[in-house]
Structure 1
Amino acid sequence: MIKVAVFDDSKERLDSLELLINHTDNLLCSGTFPNCNTVLEDLAASAPDVILMDIDMPGVNGIEAVKLLREENVQLPILMQTVFDDNERVFASICAGASGYILKKANPQQIVQAIQDVYEGGAAMSSSVAKQVLKAFQTQMVLQTPANFDLTEREKEILGCLVKGLSHKLIASELFISVHTVNTHIRNIYEKLHVRSVSAAVAKAIKEKIV
């Protein structure tokens, strides 16, 4: 059972997401919250496996909440919901450590799939948001030689799999290694790239032309 905590300032959307999650096999809504002002306490109370978070809320917004959680070493997958055509906000969310993104207009099946993807270690991202992210990189990139992060060949191989959107389980299957070994390599990749999430690692791999 995947427990999901939902943060959204729209009561109507909170209710609809709670209904969707609780009526989906293997999903359970462990808490709904109208803001992120007490996000650490809310997570302690709801004990989720995945966080579904609105990017724009009054008080502490979604981006600020992601930064706070990562600074507090909260490693739960965080799936952002966005209605923005704002490259900077999407890019900021990636840099802050969000695990994936989905547009609010996504259908129920896409929302459920995105939750399952980030839970399994993937980097859920709708195609339209992915285009925004690439645009953000294109506007921020400057000519430079590829950085050397001292990744091993195996780490580069696994990073390449992450860029393709493979989950930890699929990477293990494709490379004929255990999920535990995959997780160990990914922790090392995070440390060497100075990132704290799959999406941030993928973003840096693309930006720095590592793979």
Structure 2
Amino acid sequence: MKHIKLAIIEDDLVVQESLNDFFEVLPNIKCLLISPSVEGFLNVLPTLNKIPDVLLLDINLLGMSGIDGIPLLLNELPKIDIIMLTTFEDNDSIFKALCAGACSYLSKKTPLKKIQEAIEVVYDGGSYMSPSIARKIVNKYVPKRNQSSILTPRQNEIVDGIVAGKSYKMIADDLFVSLDTVRSHIKNIYKTLEINSKAELIKKSYDNEI
């Protein structure tokens, strides 16, 4: 049986207790340390008798963020595998964490058994992503023309105008159509994308979801 040494950096007491209670009864995973911050973890690290193999790391922490802490953690523990466990599922956080050195990325909505599975997969040399995270990563590399096929070329022109901060009147003038035509297109865009606001539309564009 594999014996995995785990550490956790998480500042939410409820999450701390949930993870600790779960791993405490597992025969193959031993939690060596739970710290509320990167700084606290690094301070306690020299006192540990054993070095953790896998680290569960939150992003929004007391003091330094988890993403900013990754280089410091890897400097002290170059062989450790870092799994992000966070509420942040935006593209920017995902790619910053992976580029900084995390090998896996999990949503905090992930069931405990799946977190266990992720730890075991990572310990065996693999990588593990929550399904929603994996989809975002795939979408990042899908050709833009395939992602945009859900909207018509004219609708995409209108989306580009909105993202650029133009008013409906400016978009209508640029495209040589009436203001009512622009509004009609926007209504259809919202319906197609199942959204209700300009903010949601801009976010989908920034996240490469349209």
TM-score over 0.5 for the pair? yes
Please show how residues 154-173 of structure 1 align to structure 2 within 5 Å: none
In the alignment, does 2:4 pair up with 1:8? no
Once the two structures are TM-superposed, the CA of residue 110 in structure 1 deviates from its matched residue by 0.1
In structure 1, distance between residues paired with 2:143 and 2:16: 35
In structure 2, distance between residues paired with 1:20 and 1:139: 41
1:80 corresponds, among 84, 93, 96, to 84
Alpha-carbon displacement from aligned partner over 1:82-134 (angstroms, at most 9, x marks no partner)? 21231100000010000111111111110100011111110111211112223
Give the TM-score of the pair, scaled to structure 2. Answer: 0.61
Which has the higher Rg, Structure 1 or Structure 2? 2
Once the two structures are TM-superposed, the CA of residue 39 in structure 1 deviates from its matched residue by 3.3
| Percentage of pairs with the same residue | 34
Alpha-carbon displacement from aligned partner over 1:41-77 (angstroms, at most 9, x marks no partner)? 3333342111111122131111111122234462201
- Secondary structure at the aligned position of 1:102 is classed as strand
Relative to structure 1, the CA distance from residue 66 to residue 138 in structure 2 (aligned partners, 3 Å threshold; closer, same or farther) is farther
- Segments of structure 1 that go 5 or more residues without pairing to the other structure are 141-211
- Segments of structure 2 that go 5 or more residues without pairing to the other structure are 145-210
Q: Is contact 2:53–2:79 with CA below 8 Å preserved after alignment? A: no
In structure 1, distance between residues paired with 2:55 and 2:19: 12
Give the TM-score of the pair, scaled to structure 1. Answer: 0.61
Alpha-carbon displacement from aligned partner over 1:22-54 (angstroms, at most 9, x marks no partner)? 111211110110111233333333421111111
Q: Which residue of 2 aligns with 1:21?
A: 23
- Secondary structure at the aligned position of 1:38 is classed as helix
Q: Which residue of 2 aligns with 1:34?
A: 36
Q: Is contact 1:91–1:136 with CA below 8 Å preserved after alignment? A: no
Q: Which residue of 1 aligns with 2:74?
A: 70
In the alignment, does 2:134 pair up with 1:115? no
In structure 2, distance between residues paired with 1:109 and 1:45: 30
Q: Is contact 2:89–2:107 with CA below 8 Å preserved after alignment? A: no
